[in-house]
Structure 1
Amino acid sequence: MHDDDEQVIRLEDYRPTDFLIHEVDLLVCLFEGRAEVRAALTVERRPGSPEAASLSLDGDELTLTSLALDGERLPEGSYEVSPEALTLHGLPASGRFTLSIGTTLEPEKNTKLMGLYRTRGVWCTQCEAEGFRRITYFLDRPDVLATYRVRIEAPRAAAPVLLANGNPVESGPLEGGRHFALWHDPHPKPSYLFALVAGDLDVLKDDFTTAGGRKVDLAIYTEKGLSARSVYAMDALKRSMAWDERRFGREYDLDVFNIVAVSDFNMGAMENKGLNVFNHKYVLLDPDTATDGDYAGVETVIAHEYFHNWTGNRITCRDWFQLCLKEGLTVYRDQEFTADERSRAVKRIASVQLLKSQQFPEDQGPLQHPVRPTRYREINNFYTATVYDKGAELVRMIATILGPERFRAGMDLYFERHDGEAATIEDFLLCFEEAGGRSLERFRLWYAQAGTPTLSVRETYADGRLTLSLSQRLARGAAGTGTEPMHMPVRFGLVGSNGADMEAVPRAEGAKAEDGIIHLLEEKGEVVFEGLPERPLVSILRDFSAPVTLDFPQSREDRLALARLDPDAFGRWRALADLVGETLADAGRTGFSPADAAPVLQAVAAGAADEALEPSLRAQMAALPGEGEIARLVGQDVDPGRVHRARIAAMAELGRIGGESFARLLAEGAGEPFSPAPDSVGRRALRNTILAFVSLAAGDASRAERQFAGATNMTDRLAALAVLAHHFPREAATRKALERFHDTYAGDDLVLDKWFMLQASAAHEDALADVERLAAHPAFKLANPNRARALIGGFASANPLAFHRPDGAGYRFVARMLTELDRLNPQTAARLATAFRSWRSLEPGRRELAAQTLRAIAQGKQISRDLKDIVDRSLQ
């Protein structure tokens, strides 16, 4: 716990270090109950730094055991040490010197899972953002780049596998049943990319030959007995490596690439150079234990971490304010990979849904911040949807503005110019300006201004002339940043009654229009199209070409027509999704009206049944927005109970409207052999979406019962169980199905996480009692981040009805759990606390209860800096 809670780090205060660290030579000796670390740092005073400058190294809960300069022990008066810092005075004014530092650690007691810790007998590390300082004293910041040689010594019986970054150099036996391995990473890297793993692990091996003809040895390490479940991950890795060569010309640069899957991990995965450490959720798969969503998640995360080899590792960020430079860019790259591997339209729809459900609420609430923040108290709390997902949208807009060839030229220049450096957003944008021959002055404001802009569009048509009047507006929010007009690329199409885009030459004022894109550069702009043979349907914001709230009062009839006719698949989905969202938001305010909703729900049913569309797109057309997204559209004075009832009523009504066509879709393909291929995934998604509608319409759980009993894969099994648990929670069949599921998978942690999550997210009157009972279940482990996210996150973020109980009991339960978790793992507690982010939009009663709960958490005597930062910002 910390007494420096008010410390604020500011971008404007950045300055280079007074010292450089060129080489790091680490000796890590692992024993039962402790680890001894000796770091030999090759240090040099930075040219131009003051000769009197001291060297201040970061630490976190460290115990210093030895300290020497060029082999000579330092006298006590020449340094100051605490668990959090080591400051050295009187260091050489020129030339390189070696600083040797000894520390001792207790990995088994490290429940924060940052630095070096031990989980299920395996020693491993997590150093991003500031975990290396929990291993040794260091300049623990991303702009300090050094090469690393790492020697690991450990008992052979407990840790026959010894891994670190880079290439293996040497290994061999030691006395007393111990052994060693020496690794060398020739590429300078920041300390946050350091990794070490030691344990008794199974391995799946393969290899990959680069476009340049080099053979790379690949390995995925798992807990004993689980390597067979990493086959798909290996396939995804090899596809990622080949794709990055084709799409961006990036070859892998080491002799080996290793992945290790561990069960206790704060994040999804970590891109450490040549040694990626993964949460085993994103590695282990087979049809019986993993859903189609899990397969997609593994493919995405494997690709994401591999792509970091260049966008994050070879070129890293100068400081943590530039975090989006690696994360937003790499999310864009993994999205493009999935789009090329599967369906571009379906992937884009999924990305936009994620953006709207996760990033838009963040952008519009108390935790708002720019894509590049200018201040923070705890950097761990800025691994956010804004940095990742909105950051990716900004890269996508650059690609839209420049076009594919000039965008690729900009990326090539970025790789060429900044390889081996710690870069900034300015460095990145300058490459695109130079290679693309286009100013991005207005565009760069996207990185500095927080909030979701509103794009207003108005159309007028007469005598073959269509005028589109556009304007943009950005309201000042919690971050208090600017509101200037930004460069906003708006893709569009003019759809004729034949379902084809019309050809028309635009004339623009206050904007530019070219190649199907309107470039809105000022607050207002106008585009005129003349000589049109008929009034077109305006398909606007295709591909969601800018992350905005669209204000376009297009008639219901026009949008229903676009949902049938738009030749752009994303445009078809967006027209229908916007209509559905507006309909359910109205129902969330005043109650559900079947008559008012009928035309929209009929269009949803028609989209689901349209065999001209690929199955995954039909599933997207059929899916209704979640309660969180509906609440966001409602805006203010949200009653979560009313939102829940409106959505359930709409699902049931949709089931009735679908009728025979839904029954036929449920029957088609049922029982087909499992395949992760896109068409097979799409058919399952469509059937399982419809299953809930049909079951609610009939008020009958029998279809879900039969599917659960006969399912041959986890996707169908879990979908059926979700219908039972969410919509028929008190039926005997549901209780038996939950018991059977638990008993079948009691020894599989990843599947048990699904069991906890499913029940925690089930919206019904007794949900809180169920969750409290599950918190006392023998299999619930609060210290395991996956299990904590499944139960606490499943309840707080995925069950608005129960979390926002009008008596405040849901808030109080989550507060108790967060307080307990905060003592074990502050980072996970802080991330779960973001469930409160939209409390100000609630109706007055719940709003006050949520505020009281947040104030009570903030007043806790032992609250961590991580959790306090989230709670304080939520209350501002």
Structure 2
Amino acid sequence: MRTDTGRIVHLADYRPTDFVLERVDLTFELDPTETKVEARLIFHRREGVDPAAPLVLDGDDLTMTSLLFDQIEMDPARYTALPESLEIRDLPESTPFEITVVTMINPEANTQLMGLYRSNGIYCTQCEAEGFRRITYFPDRPDVLAVYTINIIADKAANPLLLSNGNFLGGAGFGPDKHFAAWFDPHPKPSYLFALVAGDLGVVEDTFTTMTGREVALKIYVEHGKEPRAAYAMDALKRSMKWDEEVFGREYDLDIFMIVAVSNFNMGAMENKGLNIFNDKYVLADPETATDQDYANIEAIIAHEYFHNWTGNRITCRDWFQLCLKEGLTVYRDHEFSADMRSRPVKRIAEVRHLRSEQFPEDSGPLAHPVRPTKYREINNFYTTTVYEKGSEVTRMIATILGRDGFKKGMDLYFERHDGDASTVEDFVKCFEDATGADLNQFALWYHQAGTPQVTVSSVYDAAASTLSLSLEQMLPATPGQPNKEPMHIPLRFALIGDNGAELDASIVTGGKVTADVLHLTERSQTFVFSGISSRPVVSLNRGFSAPITLHFEQSEADLAHIARHDSDHFARWQAITDSALPVLTKAARAAQAGEPVAVSASLVDILLTVAADEELEPAFRAQALALPSESDIARELGGDNDPDAIHVGREAVLVALAKAGASVFAALYDRHAVTGAFSPDAASAGRRALRNAALTFLSIAEGDPKRAAEAYAAANNMTDLSQALSVLAHRFPEAKETAATLQAFEARFADNPLVLDKWFAIQATIPGAQTLEHVRSLMASPHYAAGNPNRVRSLIGSLAFSNPTGFHRKDGAAYSFFADQILDIDPRNPQLAARLLTALRSWRMLESSRADKARQALVTIERGPNLSTDVRDIVDRILKA
């Protein structure tokens, strides 16, 4: 395991390698504990480089057994081999040369799950970001592209399947008990996209005919017996391939596309060229074991990794500072795909909920960083929601500013100009400028400045002059390393809505640039004056969440209700409901903290029940409207000195008031929206289930009785309804006999299904209240708990830390101490997992003083831990010292 080196990598220090890598030939002789890796690498010195410069290759805990130069054993005086590097001296000045290096690695002992590891009998690789250096000495950086030929030798009985990137060249026996397979990838790629899988797996096969008539073989490999559960993933893959051709004009470029699902995986999935490796939770699904959200996640992540074939693989990153260039762009693409496959407004609401709950806190805390960072200590810690989700929002804003046609022209030029390149953000932005003539210089600040812009708005209607003045001011708070910020180009979709709900003509405007329905805020302060407005309109601003900002716009309850009822942009309707609810919820939290009665706005209850009962609206949208802002949303709105117990009490009071006032509405919804017949994961059916389950929750609250949820569990024929009924029982009636019986029944029914047991663990870890910590401790003693499986750790420890404010933020600090112990226990085995869990404490300074002090003590305990990994050291230092 790499421990902290203290080395900071800076964008400004980038320079190309001294040597150009021309090709890579790798031979693996697989063995659980002694795998031999032979790497034959052909280099030539880059023109203009000092002829005395050595070749320096990266390593990580490597043992070298042989080093050849042009197939002759190299004089030890010419090289220095350390576990973390190999330096070779006295190399040719201009002619190509071959280095052959042999290393021995132990896949069985690789609990970090980076490089080549073996888990559950399957050999698997994960090389992004810097895992390839754990396999062999190599220039392990994304701007080193080469073609790869791979030979794999392994025991035939244990490993009938031998896979790698590219097209299959052939295979045969290799001695009495072994066999080999050879693969060739004709497309130059960086080492982080290398993949190898070997073992014994079942397969689901299909084909796809591309837009030019080529037939591509499609294969999804899963554990034997699980093949039927990969059918939806295969369907999602074929739809992704067709969509990318139709929308972006991108055709697949190999003869075969493969997906392998494994259970022990640190990430969601990995886009290795032609051989995607997935966490099996994002491949396996059937009605009995997967929720509607699981199906949606599978669809999105299958698409995301496939779309990387062009935005990430064919065009990759020059360096890791450009990570948003592949991830943010590809998230935007998968969001658009899901919006086309499902409900666009509902998808957008879900995206914004996630952005606000995960990325906004990151942007406002000690881990804040620009979409394109300028330095890092550990690159694994920059696979963040800022890079992914905010990066996607930045791409979306380019599309908003340029319009559909302009955005397409820019993307087409990007694909044409940079195919086969390792590119930068500047390369990407310039394609849009060159394709459309737009000046995106100011807009590019979105890549360089951290923090969430705050936009304050006021409006004045002058009836005599028939004008509406809209005054806006933007402010970008200071973030670590960036105390002063420049004004941003913020594109805000808007509409002026009349008394009858119709949109007014807003084309006559002065004070700034307005294009179609987009208002462009480019200065620190601007006032836009709209003329010819015959009656006072209601302003709908930042429709569709066109810019990732916080908007401070004091609008009356009546105006918000008008938007909620009439706006043609359904995201704006949902936002108006949220803006109505947040003040009520924050007042409720403050009242609970002060020990005062909680008051609930009648107008909020009225608008929520009106929307819930409106059969003109799609059920999925109504379910989103009824999902009030979370306790984390309320904490963020309060801004500091947060008491999670008071926030919970206040929000519960609002839920109870709404449930009781709308009991008849919810009963009607529950009866009306039962989904009958065979289960289907389509969006419409999923929406009806979502609305019915929302009604179930409110009815259970109103009735104060577990009976209805227990009956719903008994009647359920799919995992969506099963898990929701179980959640209602566990979270609302934790002491009821029905809850204990149902938890036991669920465990017994799904004891052999790890992915479903993850849900069982997560539901229990998120039961509100201080008592949950002891329950989590007891669950760790369960025979089902596996500390070496990242999914299981995330389902229990992660769910407590990220999704249970009252359980994690116990007033006595016991959960913080428990959490610190878990981080120190996980770190030696799996630093990436430990570091990502640790971010749960990033907002500790927002807590009230007693809790904040105890959280800080836990962080100090972690900071003082022995032999911390670079991953954990980096996170704890930034959280404590910012």
TM-score by length of 1: 0.99
Aligned to 1:871: 876
String of CA shifts for 1:21-65, please: whole Å, max 9, x gaps: 110000011124221100000111111111011111000111101
Aligned to 2:574: 573
Distance 1:667 1:16 in 2: 65
Distance 1:31 1:446 in 2: 48
1:780 aligns with 2:785: yes
**Partner amino acid, structure 2, of 1:122:** I
Q: 1:484 aligns with which of 486, 492, 502?
A: 486
Please say if residues 508 and 525 of structure 1, whose CA atoms lie closer than 8 Å, have aligned partners that are also in contact: no
Aligned to 2:768: 763
Distance 2:749 2:232 in 1: 23
Distance 1:424 1:586 in 2: 46
The SS at the match of 1:824 is: coil
Distance 1:413 1:292 in 2: 37
The SS at the match of 2:433 is: helix
Distance 1:49 1:541 in 2: 52
Distance 1:120 1:832 in 2: 24
5 Å-filtered alignment, 1:625-774, equals 625-670=629-674, 672-673=676-677, 674-774=679-779
5 Å-filtered alignment, 1:72-151, equals 72-151=72-151
Q: CA deviation at 1:481?
A: 5.4
CA RMSD of aligned residues (A): 1.1
The SS at the match of 1:31 is: coil
Q: CA deviation at 1:482?
A: 4.0
String of CA shifts for 1:707-727, please: whole Å, max 9, x gaps: 011100000000000001111
Q: CA deviation at 1:693?
A: 1.6
String of CA shifts for 1:179-203, please: whole Å, max 9, x gaps: 1110000000000000000010000
Please say if residues 113 and 825 of structure 1, whose CA atoms lie closer than 8 Å, have aligned partners that are also in contact: yes
Distance 1:714 1:414 in 2: 43
The SS at the match of 2:491 is: strand
The SS at the match of 2:642 is: coil
**Partner amino acid, structure 1, of 2:402:** L
1:261 aligns with 2:265: no
Q: CA deviation at 1:480?
A: 2.1
1:812 aligns with 2:817: yes
Distance 1:25 1:5 in 2: 31
Please say if residues 600 and 657 of structure 2, whose CA atoms lie closer than 8 Å, have aligned partners that are also in contact: no
The 4+ residue runs of structure 1 with deviation greater than 3 A are 1-5, 592-596
The SS at the match of 1:601 is: helix
The SS at the match of 2:625 is: helix
Aligned to 2:231: 231
String of CA shifts for 1:159-195, please: whole Å, max 9, x gaps: 1111100000111111121111100000000000000
The SS at the match of 1:176 is: coil
Distance 1:479 1:651, change over 3 A: farther
Distance 1:350 1:517 in 2: 22
Distance 1:636 1:594 in 2: 20
Aligned to 2:393: 393
Gapped regions of structure 1 (runs ≥ 5): none
String of CA shifts for 1:93-112, please: whole Å, max 9, x gaps: 11211110100111011000
Aligned to 1:412: 412
Q: CA deviation at 1:629?
A: 1.4
Distance 1:291 1:479, change over 3 A: farther
The number of residues matched between the two structures is 875
5 Å-filtered alignment, 1:346-745, equals 346-463=346-463, 464-480=466-482, 482-509=484-511, 511-591=512-592, 595-670=599-674, 672-673=676-677, 674-745=679-750
**Partner amino acid, structure 1, of 2:838:** A
The SS at the match of 2:691 is: helix
Distance 1:817 1:414, change over 3 A: same
Q: CA deviation at 1:658?
A: 1.4
5 Å-filtered alignment, 1:151-230, equals 151-230=151-230
Please say if residues 675 and 689 of structure 2, whose CA atoms lie closer than 8 Å, have aligned partners that are also in contact: no
Distance 2:180 2:851 in 1: 58
Q: CA deviation at 1:562?
A: 0.9
Distance 2:866 2:769 in 1: 34
Please say if residues 832 and 871 of structure 2, whose CA atoms lie closer than 8 Å, have aligned partners that are also in contact: yes
**Partner amino acid, structure 1, of 2:642:** V
Please say if residues 663 and 698 of structure 2, whose CA atoms lie closer than 8 Å, have aligned partners that are also in contact: no
Distance 1:454 1:799, change over 3 A: same
**Partner amino acid, structure 2, of 1:101:** V
Distance 1:72 1:589 in 2: 76
Please say if residues 726 and 764 of structure 1, whose CA atoms lie closer than 8 Å, have aligned partners that are also in contact: no
The SS at the match of 2:529 is: strand
String of CA shifts for 1:582-634, please: whole Å, max 9, x gaps: 22122222238664433212211221211111111111111112211111111
Distance 2:43 2:5 in 1: 31
TM-score by length of 2: 0.98
Please say if residues 600 and 654 of structure 2, whose CA atoms lie closer than 8 Å, have aligned partners that are also in contact: no
Q: Which moved more, 1:97-106 or 1:692-701?
A: 692-701
The SS at the match of 2:123 is: strand
Distance 2:824 2:695 in 1: 40
Gapped regions of structure 2 (runs ≥ 5): none
Distance 1:581 1:10 in 2: 41
String of CA shifts for 1:475-529, please: whole Å, max 9, x gaps: 11224254100110010001112212111323232x2112011011111111111
Please say if residues 671 and 711 of structure 1, whose CA atoms lie closer than 8 Å, have aligned partners that are also in contact: no
String of CA shifts for 1:253-304, please: whole Å, max 9, x gaps: 0000000000000000000000000000000000000000000000000000
**Partner amino acid, structure 1, of 2:320:** W
